[in-house]
């Protein structure tokens, strides 16, 4: 059964370099023991999310956050190791996780996530 923790805290892996991954799909691919549970089964939404680049990154990888069409030249945010990007919502669960994409220029890197739902 998926986890219903609030805040939910976990790690996702970006297996391929220069490949954009939809955040909601990455979460859906986690094992049942750690996959977050959302209030409804339609669109996963959060009230707040913080995305952190792999703090153990020794390769100098760059991490990109954006919308569909994310590339290393078209993005909203670029992070380096340990940097965190927060997204806030003033209301309950307005941030759509299917609209957030993650990309790294190095294969096999991880990103840490913390988010709140209600």
Instruction: Determine the pLDDT at residue 1.
Output: 57
Summarize pLDDT for 61-87 with one digit per residue, the tens: 999 999 999 999 999 999 999 999 999
Domain boundaries along the sequence of the chain: 8-116
- Check whether 90 has a pLDDT greater than 60: yes
Q: Is the pLDDT of residue 103 over 70?
A: yes
In the CATH hierarchy, which fold is given to the domain comprising 8-116? Jelly Rolls (2.60.120)
Strands (E), 1-118: 8-14, 21-22, 45-46, 48-53, 63-66, 77-79, 84-88, 95-96, 101-104, 109-116
pLDDT cut 70: percent of the chain above it: 96
pLDDT in tens, 30-63: 998 899 988 766 789 999 999 999 998 778 999 9
């Amino acid at each position: 059964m998926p986890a219903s923790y609030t805040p939910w805290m976990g790690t996702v892996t970006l297996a391929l370099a220069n490949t954009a991954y939809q955040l909601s799909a990455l979460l859906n691919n986690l094992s049942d023991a750690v996959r977050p549970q959302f209030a409804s089964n339609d669109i996963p939404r959060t009230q707040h999310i913080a995305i952190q680049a792999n703090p153990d990154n020794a390769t100098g990888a760059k991490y990109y956050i954006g919308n569909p069409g994310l590339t290393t030249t078209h993005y909203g945010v670029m992070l380096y190791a340990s940097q965190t990007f927060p997204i806030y919502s003033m209301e309950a669960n307005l941030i759509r996780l299917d609209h957030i994409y993650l990309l790294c220029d190095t294969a096999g890197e991880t990103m840490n996530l913390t988010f709140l739902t209600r």
